Amino acid sequence: MGRGKIEIKRIENSTNRQVTYSKRRAGIVKKAKELTVLCDAEVSLLMVSSTGKIHEYISPSCTHKNLYDRYQQASGTDLWQPHYEKMQEHLQKLKDINNKLRKEIRQRHGEDLDDLGFQQLRGLEQNMEKSVECVRNRKFHVITTQTDTFKKKVKNHEETHNSLIREFEERDADFRFPSLDFEGDYQSTIGFANGNPQIFAFRLQPKLQSADLQDEETYGSYGLSLS
Amino acid sequence: MGRGKIEIKRIENSTNRQVTYSKRRAGIVKKAKELTVLCDAEVSLLMVSSTGKIHEYISPSCTHKNLYDRYQQASGTDLWQPHYEKMQEHLQKLKDINNKLRKEIRQRHGEDLDDLGFQQLRGLEQNMEKSVECVRNRKFHVITTQTDTFKKKVKNHEETHNSLIREFEERDADFRFPSLDFEGDYQSTIGFANGNPQIFAFRLQPKLQSADLQDEETYGSYGLSLS
DNA sequence: TCGACTATTTATAATTA
DNA sequence: TTAATTATAAATAGTCG
């Protein structure tokens, strides 16, 4: 090759290595081109230098992907195809399950009942009655719990209110028949006299009036179009 | 290179082309090996001869796929990555929708109601009552239709039965007080006399007795474990 | 069809500018 | 540094057995 026989082993000097890489890369690309033209072959050549830079040669009217695919087919080590097919299968399964679930929901909405027989309809009806009973019970449980909580709150507030009233009246009495330590407590008593009585008016019914059906978020249709 | 400068153009003689291909292929593979060792580079070399045979060189501890992937990433022409990600996304969407559907079904089964408020429970209850009404109506419709069909069948059979009885009695009368054309009809009359009366016993109730709930196929859980 | 063998060309490592 | 030069090794086209 050059001045004196060279040994084929790693060039330790990084700069020289890069120089040699550039030169030899050019050489190998030239060889690849020649092979393409002379022998009517298709060549895909990918090279990554020790610094991570990528260089390539690919025969005209041909792609790396194309050659790589052919290589994979030939060597029978295509790992993508099975993976891809599995995913497709998986998607189909999910779609099927989705449709079943939708159908069940529709039936539980009283729709799409045409292909159910008498027995199935009777079963569905009984099951739904049982289920609606569960919901009703839960509803009562919730409203009971809420009512209890409100009662407690009301009681609590009443107690606070009463004790404040009591305290106020005591102070008021002190004010009209001042005790020995009047001077020191005057300011705080004035403060209470100016306190806002509306502070004890609270809302007992947190929006329990209109119970419109069907929260779109929860019971709407989950549309999904697949490509 | 050899005996006299060679021109880089396709070798027309097929045999010579193959010979040259073999020699040069060995050469380029050797060069690729040298590049790998000397310059610490990674090389992927795929060659397809004009006869379709595939030869390769790949640097040790490295795969064609690996290098090809890196090349695609670098050149930004990876068509698989986005596709793959889309599929993953799609799968996730389907799973999410599935879970929502399942939750709705559970709630319509009277389960998993803990995170519903009073209003939602009331809405659900009313909706379920409306739905169960639909199912009930459908059930009545089916049973009514079935009953009508049976009635019609019974009526039909009765009519047939009566007309046969009538005919039989007429024939019987003819037998006891033979008419002028007795000879010709004797055989067929005997045939009727031997007819089986049980032929008119039919089943009116096609298995309407036990209406067990829950067809596993329709209302069971659709389990799916994903890898 | 296949190696083995040259006569040459080609590639390139080392050197120089 | 990088680019051009050069001496030499390597590659290989054509040939022969």
Q: Give DSSP secondary structure letters for B24-54.
A: HHHHHHHHHHHHHHHH--EEEEEEE-TT--E
Other Cβ atoms closer than 10 A to B39: 24
Contacts of B48 in chain A (CB under 8 A): 41-43, 67, 70
Question: B142: domain range?
Answer: 117-173
* Protein CA B23 to sugar C1' C4 (Å): 14
Q: Is residue A91 part of a domain?
A: no
B69 and B21, same structural domain?
Answer: yes
Residue B73 lies in a domain: yes
Instruction: Please give the Cα distance from A20 to A198 (Å, whole number).
Output: 90
- Among B133, B155, B173, the domain boundary falls at B173
Given this model, what pLDDT does residue B97 score?
97
Predicted local distance difference test score (pLDDT) of residue A213: 32
Residue of B181, B73, B93, B50 whose CA lies nearest to A36: B50
CATH number at residue A20: 3.40.1810.10
In a domain, B60, yes or no: yes
Side-chain half-sphere of B16: how many Cα atoms within 13 Å?
6
CB contact (8 A) between residue B226 and residue A90: yes
- Which has the closest alpha carbon to A52: B64, B75, B41, B36? B41
Contacts of A116 in chain B (CB under 8 A): 138
A37 falls within a domain: yes
- Nearest by CB: A68 against B68, B101, B126: B68
Q: Is B189 exposed, middle or buried (0-12, 13-18, 19+ CB in 10 A)?
A: middle
pLDDT of residue A175: 58
In whole angstroms, give the CA distance from residue A66 to residue A72: 10
How far away is chain B from the Cα of A4, in angstroms, using its nearest Cα?
16
H helices present in A9-117, as ranges? 14-39, 64-75, 80-108
| A20 and A71 inside one domain | yes
B70 occurs within a structural domain: yes
Residue–nucleotide distance: A197 CA to C1 C1' (Å): 115
Last residue of a domain, one of B155, B173, B191: B173
Evaluate whether residue B168 is within a structural domain.
yes
Q: Do B130 and A110 touch (CB under 8 A)?
A: yes
Q: How close, in Å, is residue A23 to chain B by CA atoms?
A: 10
pLDDT tens figures, A100-151: 999 999 999 999 999 899 999 999 999 999 999 999 999 999 999 989 998 9
Q: Which nucleotide is nearest to A4 (CA to C1')?
A: D8
Nearest-angstrom CA–CA distance, A192 and A155: 22
The number of folded domains in chain B is: 2
Say which nucleotide is closest to residue A23, CA to C1' distance: C12
pTM: 0.53
User: Is the domain of B73 the same as that of B128?
Assistant: no
- For residue A174, what pLDDT band results from cuts at 50, 70 and 90? low
User: Is A85 a domain residue?
Assistant: no
Residue A147 lies in a domain: yes
pLDDT, one tens digit per residue, over B165-211 is 888 887 777 655 554 444 444 344 333 444 443 433 333 333 333 33
Q: How many residue contacts between A and B have a Cβ separation below 8 Å?
A: 296
Of A25, A59, A77, the last residue of a domain is A77
